[in-house]
């Protein structure tokens, strides 16, 4: 099993910065990628950003591309989401996932419990 745990959320004001962290532990034999989704109240969960373990390619939703940066510490299986210029529409629960491959299970996404980010003016 793989455990995923987010941290770093909280209340901030418009224009502020915040850094989220996400750590994966357990049977992380072959980590393919880690990333973030978010879900605002009354809305569907949406993709935010992801980073691959092999090569470190990064992907972003258009809505955050110029403001958020995803990075990794592959030795520790930790990723970070640096969020700058936060807007009220960034208010959401942020969920981290880890895509891990094993011979027995194939490719599986493991999810954290989420961390709340609230942006107010």
Two structure tokens written together for 119: 């942006």
Question: What does the pLDDT read at residue 27?
Answer: 78
Question: What does the pLDDT read at residue 48?
Answer: 98
Burial level of 98, CB count in 10 A (0-12/13-18/19+)? buried
**In 3-state terms, what secondary structure has residue 53?**
coil
Burial level of 82, CB count in 10 A (0-12/13-18/19+)? middle
Question: What does the pLDDT read at residue 28?
Answer: 67
Question: What does the pLDDT read at residue 75?
Answer: 86
Q: List per-residue pLDDT tens for the chain, 121 residues long.
A: 899 999 999 999 999 999 999 999 987 678 899 999 999 999 999 999 999 998 899 999 999 999 999 999 988 899 999 999 999 999 999 999 999 988 888 889 999 999 999 999 9
């Amino acid at each position: 099993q793989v455990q995923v745990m987010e941290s770093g959320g909280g209340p901030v004001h418009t224009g502020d910065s915040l850094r989220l962290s996400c750590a994966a532990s357990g049977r992380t034999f072959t980590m393919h990628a880690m990333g973030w989704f978010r879900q605002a109240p009354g809305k569907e969960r949406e993709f935010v950003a992801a980073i691959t373990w092999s090569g470190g390619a990064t992907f972003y939703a258009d809505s955050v591309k110029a403001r958020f940066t995803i990075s990794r510490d592959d030795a520790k299986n930790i990723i970070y989401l640096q969020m700058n210029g936060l807007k009220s529409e960034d208010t959401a629960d942020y969920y981290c996932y880890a895509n891990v491959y094993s011979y027995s299970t194939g490719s599986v996404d493991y999810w954290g419990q989420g961390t709340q980010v609230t942006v107010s003016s």
